Amino acid sequence: MELKIERVSKIYANGVQALKDVTLTIPAGMYGLLGPNGAGKSTLMRMIATLQEPDAGSIRLGDLDVLRQKDEVRKTLGYLPQEFGVYPKVSAEDLLDHFALLKGVAERRARKEVVEALLRQTNLWEVRKQKLGGYSGGMRQRFGVAVALIGNPKLLIMDEPTAGLDPAERVRFLNLLSELGENSVVLLSTHIVEDVSELCTRMAIIDRGEILLEAEPLRAVGDLRGRIWRGMIEKSALAELEREHAVISTKLLAGRTVVRVYSDGAPGAGFDAAEGDLEDVYFSTMAGHIGRPREHRQAVAAS
Residue-level pLDDT at 294 = 54
Among candidate residues 215, 249, 283, the one where a domain is terminated: 215
- 117/121 Cα distance (integer angstroms): 6
150 Cβ contact list (under 8 Å, min separation 6): 78, 96, 99, 100, 103, 105, 114, 118
Residue 301 CB: number of other CB atoms within 10 A? Answer: 9
The 10 Å CB-count burial string (b at 16+, else e) for 242-252 is eeebbbbbbee
DSSP 3-state assignment of 261?
Answer: strand
DSSP 125-155: GGGTTSBGGG--HHHHHHHHHHHHTTT--SE
Q: What is the pLDDT of residues 136-158, one digit of tens each?
A: 888 888 898 899 989 889 999 99
For residues 253 and 289, state if they share a domain.
Answer: yes
Residue-level pLDDT at 15 = 92
Asked whether the predicted pLDDT for residue 296 surpasses 50, the reply is no
Residues spanned by the domain of 8? 3-215
Residue-level pLDDT at 187 = 94
pLDDT band, residue 301 (cuts 50/70/90): very low
76 Cβ contact list (under 8 Å, min separation 6): 61, 64, 151, 153, 154, 155
- 10/281 Cα distance (integer angstroms): 27
For residues 148 and 243, state if they share a domain.
Answer: no
Residue-level pLDDT at 176 = 81
For the chain, what is the domain count?
2
pTM metric for this prediction: 0.86
Cβ atoms of 32 and 188 closer than 8 Å: yes
- 110/74 Cα distance (integer angstroms): 21
Q: What is the pLDDT of residues 49-63, one digit of tens each?
A: 999 999 999 999 999
CATH number at residue 71: 3.40.50.300
For residues 158 and 282, state if they share a domain.
Answer: no
